[in-house]
């Protein structure tokens, strides 16, 4: 198995993400976590950029003991001097020099001919070599550089004393077969290439950063550069966790591996996200919240029978406890029953089917169905009261300058469906007047309370009412994502209980499993 060195640039290229600004303390915290993750090299910053960055690179260099610490520098003496200053106290320092080599950058940005580029870079490498054993050189925008010139630049860097030559696809323009071809060519054409390590630094402008890094590895790269969560300039860099997990999961194919402690991946990702403020998208490979979550019934059934049906990585490998079966509108009975067992309910097949139908109704209205939602759903139906009245539909009209009105349709046992419209002081009052008009009941509303039983904008609201009639009182409970519907359900539930109590005086409501 070939070892691939991991060069982490979260603190340099990662910090170049628009809006990200890490202070010294935060850089050290991330640096120490990267050390735990086991990255080989940490690019801690660009010391010439500002006194603050120089100080932060120095603090990381002093704190981290088990990784090479690197400072970035343009091919200029003053930048190299700043790296020298910043890396005082580092156990294993390295300077990373760069100079653009592509025709576009030479012409428009540097305004240099090829010869000047070669001369400037060589001078800088030789200057840096006086102070550093380890010198990495990057021909910036290598991906768009003429391949014969790139070979010439690489040969020059080796002669001048570079220990690593890094090939950046600075603008994320490459595709895997082109990028792989560059490495193959450098390996076969450049004299002395065996003396140095070849590295790949990719950007994700076309979504190919990880694929390009892997193509480089397949064609001889010894090192990959990237960031945690793939953060970085514009669309970001190669995500280190993706390359590491691709190599670990498909070792049979790549025949290469990193020496990362994979179980630190999730923790490192969370820390970088927290300190940079860059939220990891739910669907992000490896570290997204949904990377180990399964919502659809067929997948959940497969997962319950055998996890490898739908998971190629076990979540504990990256330091997560377990995969999640998320209940939602695409879930099936197998996962629903499993959830009920987890929550402590043991129901007959028929009861599971009834509860499942209710769950599907709720899932149609709600994005995520939580454990509390399911408990609330079940417990509403656990109440063993015959339903004389069943709510079919309600429609409410409300305006702050008009009188609220409500139309309710109720199915009445042995009498079919009836509908009435009524007005009220508010929407709930109008609903209750309409229910009274349909049922002909004249109970008094003694208490009304409402609370949210689950979280979020689409939370379930639970309404409690107490109705009294002829010295008998009954409570009712209604649950819905809509508080007006919950109010109607609670009122009708209380009416049903009142009727039951009137029939069997002394009877207490009893809870039993459906
Ligand atoms: C591909 C990458 O990610 S490279 C790293 C990018 N990161 C950063 O730029 C972050 C830190 N940068 C900075 O803080 C500032 O740009 C500084 C301090 C480095 C330089 O600031 P300034 O001196 O004001 O220059 P400015 O950034 O406006 O322009 C860059 C200059 O460097 C030159 N330059 C660019 N790359 C290199 C290089 N590798 N070697 C030598 N000179 C270079 C440019 O041609 C330009 O020179 P000019 O002023 O003669 O036209
Ligand atoms: C400094 C170099 C390696 C860089 O960040 C790039 O080219 O993207």
Ligand 2 center from residue 234 Cα (angstroms): 12
Query: Does the ipTM exceed 0.85?
Result: yes
DSSP 168-201: EETTS---HHHHHHHHHHHHHHSTTGGGSEEEEE
For the chain, give every residue range classified as CATH 3.30.160.270: 385-503
Q: Is the CB of 26 under 6 A from ligand 2?
A: no
What residues contact 285, with CB distance under 8 A and at least 6 apart?
210, 239, 241, 242, 245, 291
Q: Identify the residue whose C-alpha is closest to ligand 1 atom 11.
A: 49
Instruction: Return residue ranges of the chain for CATH 3.20.20.70.
Output: 2-276
Q: Is 203 annotated as a binding residue?
A: yes
Atom of ligand 1 minimally distant from the CA of 141: 1
CA dihedral 273, 276, 278, 279 (to 10 degrees): 30
pLDDT for residue 160: 98
Q: Which CATH superfamily is domain 2-276 in?
A: Aldolase class I (3.20.20.70)
Which of 10, 16, 100, 168 to mutate for ligand 2's pocket (most ligand atoms within 8 Å of CB)?
168
Cα→Cα distances 406→106, 394, 430, Å = 74, 7, 5
pLDDT of residue 512: 27
The CATH number of the domain covering residues in 385-503: 3.30.160.270
The pLDDT of residue 381 is 53
Query: Rounded to the nearest 5 degrees, what angle is found at the Cα of 250, between the Cα atoms of 244 and 251?
Result: 85
Question: Distance of alpha carbon 63 from its chain centroid, rounded?
Answer: 29
Ligand 2 centroid distance, CA of 267 (Å) = 26
Cα separation, 480 vs 391, in Å, equals 13
Distinct helix (H) and strand (E) counts, the chain? 17, 18
Could you list the mean pLDDT of each consecutive 10-residue stretch along the chain, which spans 514 residues?
98 96 97 98 98 98 98 98 97 98 98 98 98 98 98 98 98 98 98 98 98 98 98 98 98 98 98 95 96 94 95 97 90 93 88 90 79 77 70 94 96 94 96 97 92 77 89 85 94 91 54 27
148 is in an annotated binding site: no
Q: Ligand 1: which residues within 6 Å by Cβ?
A: 13, 16, 46, 48-49, 74-76, 98-99, 109-110, 140, 170, 233
Residue 461 pLDDT: 87
144 lines ligand 2 (CB under 6 A): no
């Amino acid at each position: 198995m070939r070892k691939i060195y991991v060069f982490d640039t979260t603190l340099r290229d990662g910090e170049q993400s628009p809006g990200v600004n890490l202070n010294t303390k935060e850089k050290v915290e991330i640096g120490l976590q990267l050390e735990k993750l086991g990255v080989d090299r940490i690019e801690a910053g660009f010391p010439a950029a500002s006194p603050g960055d120089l100080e932060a690179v120095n603090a990381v260099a002093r704190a981290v003991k088990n990784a090479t610490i690197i400072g970035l520098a343009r091919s200029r003496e003053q930048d190299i001097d700043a790296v020298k200053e910043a890396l005082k106290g580092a156990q294993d320092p390295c300077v990373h020099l760069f100079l653009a080599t592509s025709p576009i950058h030479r012409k428009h940005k540097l305004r240099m001919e090829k010869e000047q580029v070669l001369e400037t870079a060589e001078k800088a490498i030789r200057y840096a070599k006086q102070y550093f054993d380890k010198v990495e050189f990057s021909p910036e925008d290598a991906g768009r550089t003429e391949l014969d010139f790139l070979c010439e630049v690489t040969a020059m860097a080796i002669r001048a004393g570079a220990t690593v030559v890094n090939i950046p696809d600075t603008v994320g323009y490459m595709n895997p077969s082109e990028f792989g071809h560059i490495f193959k060519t450098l390996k076969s054409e450049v004299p002395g290439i065996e003396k140095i390590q070849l590295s790949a630094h990719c950007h994700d402008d076309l979504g190919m950063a990880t694929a390009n890094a892997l193509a480089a590895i397949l064609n001889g790269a010894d090192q990959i550069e990237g960031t945690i969560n793939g953060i970085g300039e514009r669309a970001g860099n190669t995500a280190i966790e993706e390359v590491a997990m691709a190599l670990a999961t498909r070792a049979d194919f790549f025949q290469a591996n990193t020496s990362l402690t994979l179980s630190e991946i999730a923790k490192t990702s969370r820390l970088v996200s927290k300190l940079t403020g860059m939220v990891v998208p739910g669907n992000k490979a490896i570290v997204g919240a949904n990377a180990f979550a399964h919502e659809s019934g067929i997948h959940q059934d497969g997962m319950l029978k055998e996890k490898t049906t739908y998971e190629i990585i076990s979540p504990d490998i990256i330091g997560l406890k377990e995969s999640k079966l998320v209940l939602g509108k695409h879930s099936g009975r197998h996962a629903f029953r499993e959830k009920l067992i987890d929550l402590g309910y043991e129901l007959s097949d028929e009861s599971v089917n009834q509860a499942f139908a209710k769950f599907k109704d709720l899932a149609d209205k709600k994005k995520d169905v939580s454990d509390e939602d399911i408990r609330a759903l079940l417990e509403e139906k656990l109440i063993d009261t015959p339903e004389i009245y069943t709510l079919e539909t309600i429609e409410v009209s409300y305006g702050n300058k008009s009188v609220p009105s409500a139309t309710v349709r109720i199915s009445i046992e042995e009498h079919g469906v009836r509908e009435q419209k009524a007005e009220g002081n508010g929407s709930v009052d109008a609903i209750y007047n309409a229910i009274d008009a349909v049922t002909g009941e004249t109970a008094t509303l003694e208490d009304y309370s409402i609370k949210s039983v689950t979280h979020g904008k689409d939370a379930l609201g639970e309404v409690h009412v107490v109705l009294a009639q002829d010295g008998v009182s009954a409570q009712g409970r209604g649950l819905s994502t809509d508080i007006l519907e919950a109010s109607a359900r609670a009122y009708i539930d209380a009416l049903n209980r009142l009727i039951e109590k009137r029939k069997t005086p002394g009877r207490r409501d009893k809870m039993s499993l459906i």
